[in-house]
């Protein structure tokens, strides 16, 4: 199975081991690339000392952090005790204030409190800020209820102003202290950084390996122990450092010149002169616009003066016309008021005449109705009288006939038949006349009875009417007296109203005077308003012109900003390109200096070997052959250099690393790409 896992290759002991082949029988790890180098022991010792220095630095940080932690814990304990004591002192202070003010529940609480605020025997507090706020509210409410005299507001305001001033002073001092604190913190950080750097330098100075290397570098190694590769690398690094120092000096000089230019540009940009502004396109454009605006303003001012004169003329005409219209209106109003007074007087007179005529008409109508009733009654009495006259006439005739009959009754037996017949006829005539008389008497009696009953009824109605009129008269008398009293009250009111009217007339006169003054003030205010409107219109026109100029300036400024942004982008790209080019140039110069130094060292070694080759020294030849062999495979000569670090190997080893994707230098472990190697000739 082991045979099947091994590749089909020649079993050559001198060949280098493959990449995935174990270097020991039990599958050990790959040896370090510098395992065969002469500085392996120094490297391990240097690494151990570096680790020791780092551990010492960690130890110092740990001790400093522990000290800070102990200080913070002590401070926290102190502050906790302080807060606890303050809280207990505050509670005892509240109890003292309650005792001084007198609580409503004093009989339920203990009153044996000490007069001083003591808290030595108290270990814990019960509640925190919530109970404290409740106690504060209760005490404040009691103090407000107990206070009899309010505080002086002016004194409180004065004290408040003083406190505000003190607060501002304290704020200023606090800001100053904070600034000083920040500066001190920055200086402390810088000092700490310098301290750490100094400690690192001290540890490095105490290191034996570093001291040995510096001693070897300053004094040089002995001739028997000197390594040509180390000398070559040292010379190369010295040349590179000299070149880098020269480049740094050049960069510092360029940086100083650039800083001077930047300072000069900043000074110029912070304070431009009039000439700088005058040579700009924007200033020229604004200057032309300003001249145009000045011309327009002059023209507008001339037009404004003309319009103001016309406005003054029109205003005076308007004022005179307004006064004329007001006078005409007042005269018309006075005439109308006089006509209205006359019309009201005529109306009152007409109403009085109408009332009198209506009363006369009612009286005449009542008299006429009474006359009609009297005439009707007289007619009825006349009819009754005529009936009575007729009855009396018939009675008279009857009595005459009766008298004549009584005269002839004595000789009735002696009378002849014709006389008897005549007498009978006269008796019948009397009888008929008696019937007629009875009828007329009945009629007259009926009429007289009707009239009598009517008179009785009328008399009763008259009595009732008299009683009602008497009651109405008493009521009318009462109303009359009440009316007289109200008339007297009205007279008093009329006198009061007349006095008020006189006062009102005075007030009206004063109001008219104030109205005249107000009208004059209104006219003045109208003038001022018109002038203000004109000024406002002028300012609005100026504002529009300036706004237009500002818009144009903004447009021009946007264009200039875009140009500046484009130029900035272009300058940034140019700066980045220049920086990359400069860095590449510096790197190339460094490589060239290193290669020149390598070439010089190679030439020196070549000359030395040429001189030594005359002696045919096999040991020196073997040493040179060892130097020329690849340090990885020990089989091929060095013919390929890695650009990133400068180490030289054979082409096969470099190609093998590229194909196996282990693209790191075997000596220093620095990464390189497929294009980071070049062919060299030793």
Task: Please give the share of the chain, as a percent, with pLDDT higher than 90.
Answer: 0
Q: Are 139 and 94 in contact (CB under 8 A)?
A: yes
Ramachandran assignment for 637, one of left (phi > 0), alpha (psi -120 to 50 degrees), beta (any other): beta
The angle subtended at Cα 625 by Cα 621 and Cα 629, nearest 5°, is 175
pLDDT score for 629: 85
Give pLDDT tens digits for 425-462: 877 877 787 777 777 777 777 877 787 777 777 777 88
pLDDT score for 294: 82
Phi–psi pair at 671, nearest 5 degrees: -75, 150
C-alpha to C-alpha distances, 566 to 473, 560, 570, 571, nearest whole angstrom: 119, 10, 6, 8
Q: Are 543 and 272 in contact (CB under 8 A)?
A: no
Strands 648-649 and 640-642: antiparallel
pLDDT score for 274: 64
Question: Among 562, 545, 556, 559, which residue's Cα sits nearest to residue 282?
Answer: 556
Q: Are 440 and 465 in contact (CB under 8 A)?
A: no
Q: Is residue 310 part of a domain?
A: yes
Return the number of other C-beta atoms located less than 10 Å from residue 657's C-beta.
20
Rounded Cα distance between 258 and 261, Å, is 5
What is the average pLDDT across 15-38? 47
What is the average pLDDT across 526-547? 79
Angle formed by the axes of helices 208-219 and 153-206, nearest 10° = 60
Give pLDDT tens digits for 179-211: 777 777 777 777 777 777 777 667 666 666 666
Whether residue 564 is predicted with pLDDT greater than 70 in this model: the reply is: yes
Largest alpha-carbon pair distance within the chain? 256
Whether residue 157 is predicted with pLDDT greater than 70 in this model: the reply is: no
Per the DSSP assignment, residues forming a β-bridge with 677 are: 642
Burial of 319 (0-12, 13-18, 19+ CB in 10 A): middle
Rounded Cα distance between 2 and 19, Å, is 17
Phi–psi pair at 449, nearest 5 degrees: -65, -45
Least confident stretch, 93-107, 116-130, 214-228, 597-611: 116-130
Q: What is the 3-state secondary structure (H, E, C) of 605-669?
A: HHHHHHHHHCCCCHHHHHHHHHHHECCCCCCCECCEEECCCCCEECHHHHHHHHHCCCCECCCCC
Rounded Cα distance between 602 and 232, Å, is 8
Collapsing DSSP to helix, strand or coil, 500 comes out as helix
Return the number of other C-beta atoms located less than 10 Å from residue 387's C-beta.
20
Rounded Cα distance between 74 and 386, Å, is 156
Whether residue 405 is predicted with pLDDT greater than 70 in this model: the reply is: no
C-alpha to C-alpha distances, 4 to 8, 17, 566, 619, nearest whole angstrom: 9, 18, 68, 43
Question: Among 669, 591, 681, 677, which residue's Cα sits nearest to residue 642?
Answer: 677
C-alpha to C-alpha distances, 200 to 45, 69, 186, 190, 210, nearest whole angstrom: 17, 25, 21, 15, 13
pLDDT score for 332: 84
Q: In 33-72, which positions are buried (b, 16+ CB within 10 angstroms) versus exposed (e)?
A: ebeebeeeeeeeebeebeeebeeeeeeeeeeeeeeeeeee
What is the average pLDDT across 630-640? 86
pLDDT score for 408: 55
Q: Is residue 374 part of a domain?
A: yes
Question: Among 443, 427, 433, 353, which residue's Cα sits nearest to residue 395?
Answer: 433
C-alpha to C-alpha distances, 614 to 608, 620, 682, nearest whole angstrom: 10, 11, 20
Whether residue 23 is predicted with pLDDT greater than 60 in this model: the reply is: no
Q: Is residue 501 part of a domain?
A: yes
Collapsing DSSP to helix, strand or coil, 119 comes out as coil
Confidence of residue 222 (pLDDT cuts 50, 70, 90): very low
Whether residue 225 is predicted with pLDDT greater than 70 in this model: the reply is: no
Give pLDDT tens digits for 380-400: 777 777 777 777 777 777 777
What is the average pLDDT across 358-379? 79
Structural domain count, the chain: 1
Q: Is residue 423 part of a domain?
A: yes
Cα–chain-centroid distance for residue 625? Answer: 88
Q: In what order do the strands lie in the sheet with 677-679?
A: 648-649, 640-642, 677-679
Computed over every residue of the chain, the mean pLDDT equals 72
Question: Among 643, 557, 636, 546, which residue's Cα sits nearest to residue 592?
Answer: 643
DSSP category for residue 147: -
Rounded Cα distance between 201 and 53, Å, is 10
Give pLDDT tens digits for 301-326: 888 888 888 888 888 888 888 888 88
Torsion angle of the four alpha carbons 31, 36, 37, 40, in this order, in degrees rounded to the nearest 10: 60
Q: Are 63 and 199 in contact (CB under 8 A)?
A: no
pLDDT score for 2: 43
Rounded Cα distance between 85 and 91, Å, is 10
Question: Among 242, 249, 253, 252, which residue's Cα sits nearest to residue 592?
Answer: 242
Rounded Cα distance between 37 and 631, Å, is 9
Rounded Cα distance between 143 and 101, Å, is 7
Give pLDDT tens digits for 474-503: 777 777 777 777 778 778 888 888 887 778
Q: Is residue 381 part of a domain?
A: yes
Rounded Cα distance between 494 and 500, Å, is 9
What is the average pLDDT across 162-178? 72
Per DSSP, the residues of 549-603 read: HHHHHHHHHHHHHHHHHHHHHHHHHHHHHHHHHHHHHHHHHHHHHHHHHHHHHHH
Q: Are 440 and 390 in contact (CB under 8 A)?
A: yes
DSSP category for residue 18: P
pLDDT score for 146: 56
Q: Are 410 and 481 in contact (CB under 8 A)?
A: no
Is this prediction's pTM over 0.95? no
Q: In 251-288, which positions are buried (b, 16+ CB within 10 angstroms) versus exposed (e)?
A: eeeeeeeeeeeeeeeeeeeeeeeeeeeeeeeeeeebee
Q: Are 596 and 650 in contact (CB under 8 A)?
A: no
Rounded Cα distance between 295 and 297, Å, is 5
Ramachandran assignment for 220, one of left (phi > 0), alpha (psi -120 to 50 degrees), beta (any other): left
Which H or E element spans position 679?
strand 677-679
Q: Is residue 482 part of a domain?
A: yes
Task: Please give the share of the chain, as a percent, with pLDDT higher than 70.
Answer: 71
**Domain extent for 538:** 281-579
Q: Is residue 255 part of a domain?
A: no
Collapsing DSSP to helix, strand or coil, 125 comes out as coil
Among 187-196, 343-352, 391-400, 578-587, which range has the highest average pLDDT?
A: 343-352
Q: Is residue 601 part of a domain?
A: no
Least confident stretch, 271-285, 306-320, 467-481, 533-547: 271-285
pLDDT score for 477: 76
């Amino acid at each position: 199975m082991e045979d099947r896992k091994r590749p089909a290759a020649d079993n050559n002991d001198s060949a280098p081991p493959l990449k995935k082949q174990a270097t020991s029988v039990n599958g050990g790890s790959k040896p370090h690339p510098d395992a065969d180098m002469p500085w392996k022991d120094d490297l391990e010792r240097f690494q151990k000392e570096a680790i020791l220095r780092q551990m010492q630095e960690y130890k110092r940080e740990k001790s400093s952090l522990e000290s800070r932690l102990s200080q913070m814990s002590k401070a926290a304990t102190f502050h906790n005790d302080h807060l606890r004591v303050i809280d207990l002192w505050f509670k005892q202070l509240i109890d003292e204030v309650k005792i001084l003010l007198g609580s409503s529940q004093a009989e339920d609480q203990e009153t044996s409190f000490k007069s001083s605020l003591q808290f030595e025997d108290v270990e814990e507090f019960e509640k925190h800020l919530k109970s404290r706020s409740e106690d504060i509210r209760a005490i404040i409410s009691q103090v407000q209820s107990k206070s009899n005299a309010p505080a002086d507001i002016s004194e409180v305001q004065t004290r408040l102003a003083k406190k505000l001033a003190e607060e501002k002073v304290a704020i200023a001092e606090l800001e100053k202290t904070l600034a000083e604190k920040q500066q001190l913190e920055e200086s402390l950080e810088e000092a700490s950084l310098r301290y750490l750097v100094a400690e690192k330098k001290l540890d490095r100075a105490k290191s034996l390996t570093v001291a040995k290397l510096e001693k070897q570098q300053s004094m040089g190694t002995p001739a028997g122990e000197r390594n040509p590769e180390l000398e070559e690398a040292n010379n190369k690094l010295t040349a590179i450092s000299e070149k880098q120092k020269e480049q740094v000096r050049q960069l510092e000089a360029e940086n100083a010149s650039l800083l001077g230019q930047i300072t000069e540009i900043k000074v110029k940009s912070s304070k431009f002169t009039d000439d700088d502004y005058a040579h700009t396109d924007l200033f020229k454009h604004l200057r032309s616009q300003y001249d145009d605006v000045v011309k327009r303003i002059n023209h507008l001012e001339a037009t404004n003066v003309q319009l103001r004169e016309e406005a003054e003329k029109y205003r005076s005409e308007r004022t005179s016309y307004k006064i004329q219209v007001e006078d005409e209106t007042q005269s018309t109003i006075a005439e109308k008021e006089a006509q209205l007074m006359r019309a009201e007087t005529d109306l009152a007179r007409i109403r009085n005449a109408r009332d009198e005529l209506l009363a006369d008409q009612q009286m005449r109508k009542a008299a006429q109705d009474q006359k009609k009733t009297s005439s009707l009654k007289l007619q009825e009495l006349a009819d009754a009288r005529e009936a009575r006259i007729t009855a009396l006439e018939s009675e008279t005739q009857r009595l005459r006939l009766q008298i004549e009959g009584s005269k002839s009754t004595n000789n009735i037996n002696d009378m002849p038949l014709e006389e008897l017949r005549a007498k009978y006829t006269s008796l019948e005539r009397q009888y008929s006349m008696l019937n007629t008389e009875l009828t007329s008497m009945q009629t007259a009696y009926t009429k007289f009875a009707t009239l009598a009953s009517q008179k009785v009824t009328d008399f009763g109605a008259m009595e009732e009417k008299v009683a009602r009129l008497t009651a109405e008269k008493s009521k009318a008398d009462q109303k009359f007296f009440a009316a007289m009293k109200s008339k007297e009250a009205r007279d008093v009111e009329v006198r009061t109203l007349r006095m008020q009217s006189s006062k009102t007339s005075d007030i009206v006169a004063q109001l008219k005077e104030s109205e005249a003054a107000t009208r004059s003030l209104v006219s003045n205010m109208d003038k001022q308003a018109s002038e203000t409107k004109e000024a406002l219109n002028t300012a609005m026109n100026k504002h529009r012109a300036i706004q237009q100029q500002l818009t144009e300036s903004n447009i021009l400024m946007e264009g200039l900003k875009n140009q500046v942004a484009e130029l900035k982008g272009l300058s940034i790209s140019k700066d980045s390109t220049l920086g990359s080019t400069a860095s590449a140039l510096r790197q190339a110069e460094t490589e060239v200096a290193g290669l020149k130094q390598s070439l010089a060292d190679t030439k020196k070694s070549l000359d030395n070997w040429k001189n030594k080759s005359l002696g045919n020294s096999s040991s020196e030849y073997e040493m040179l052959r060892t130097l020329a062999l690849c340090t990885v495979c020990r089989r091929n000569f060095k013919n390929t250099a890695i650009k990133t670090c400068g180490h030289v190997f054979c082409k096969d080893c470099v190609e093998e690393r590229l194909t196996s994707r282990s693209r790191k230098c075997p000596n220093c472990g620095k990464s390189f790409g497929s294009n980071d190697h070049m062919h060299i000739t030793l």
